[in-house]
Amino acid sequence: MKKWAILCLALLPLSVATRGPAEKRQPKILVGEMAPNLPLEGDKNGATLATFRGHPVLIHLWATWCGPCMESMPDFIRLVNSFHGSDLVVLMMDRDHNPIDAHFYLLKNGITWPAYHDTGRFMKDFGGSGIPSTALIDRDGIVRYHHTGEGLSAKTEGKLKNAIASALARKVGAPAGADDTQP
């Protein structure tokens, strides 16, 4: 038992040194890259991200047990609602242990955007470093914004709002501008 404890203590600095805070980890999907064509788990029609090609897609990974997710949800809802009437597609991807918890939260708060339960694939492919995590994909399937970590600060909210407005204005096949952002 004593040898086991010594081994654990010896390996602790190594594990801490290789795992930094979420903000320091490199996301697997970077702004400017093509988004993976992931299936939307649980969609009865077999939809994938490519199903929405031609529309800007905002993906939000969250969970009801996540404090920062719940704290920032009202700001996220307000921001998305400011684009009501546009062709922005919003996909809510919950990471709850029980998807019913997320379903009831969305229902209780009048959120009617398409909602899916992520079993880990979206989180892995869009950074894998934590939630909340938000990604914006343009009409051509290119990631134009990605942020993982704390909720919407004034700075990240402004960047996301600008990225959405730019994605809505950009036509399919149009060259990307200098407005592509990654906080």
Alpha helices in the chain (DSSP H): 2-18, 67-81, 99-108, 121-125, 154-169
The SS3 call for residue 141 is coil
* Alpha carbon 22 to chain centroid, angstroms: 13
Rounded Cα gap, residues 35 and 23, in angstroms? 20
Neighbour-count burial for 137-158, b at 16+ CB within 10 Å, e otherwise: bbbbbbbbbbbbbebbeeebbe
Residue 86 lies in a domain: yes
CA end-to-end distance (rounded Å), the chain: 46
In a domain, 26, yes or no: no
Residues 6+ positions from 64 with CB-CB distance below 8 Å: 70, 94, 96, 101, 102, 105
Report the C-alpha gap between 97 and 144 in whole angstroms.
Answer: 29
Residue 25's nearest CA partner among 124, 93, 117, 119 is 124
Q: Please report the pLDDT score of residue 58 as a whole number.
A: 95
The pLDDT of residue 177 = 57
Please check whether residue 100 lies inside any domain of the structure.
yes
120 lies in some domain = yes
C-beta separation of 95 from 105 below 8 A: no
- Domain of 67? 54-171+178-183
pLDDT at 29: 64
Look at residue 96 and tell me if it is in a domain: yes
pLDDT at 65: 95
Can you say how many angstroms the Cα of residue 87 is from the centroid of all Cα atoms in its chain?
Answer: 19
C-alpha distances out from residue 14 to 5, 8, 10, 17, 88, Å? 15, 10, 8, 5, 44
Helix (H) or strand (E) holding 62: strand 57-62
* Full strand arrangement of the beta sheet holding 133-137: 115-117, 89-94, 57-62, 133-137, 143-148
Residue 145 lies in a domain: yes
CATH assignment of the domain containing 148: 3.40.30.10
What is the mean pLDDT for each group of 10 consecutive residues in the chain (183 residues)? Answer: 43 35 50 88 85 94 93 92 94 92 94 90 74 92 88 82 93 63 47
Give pLDDT, residue 178.
42
Residue 116 domain-assigned? yes
13 inside domain: no
- Total domains in the chain come to 1
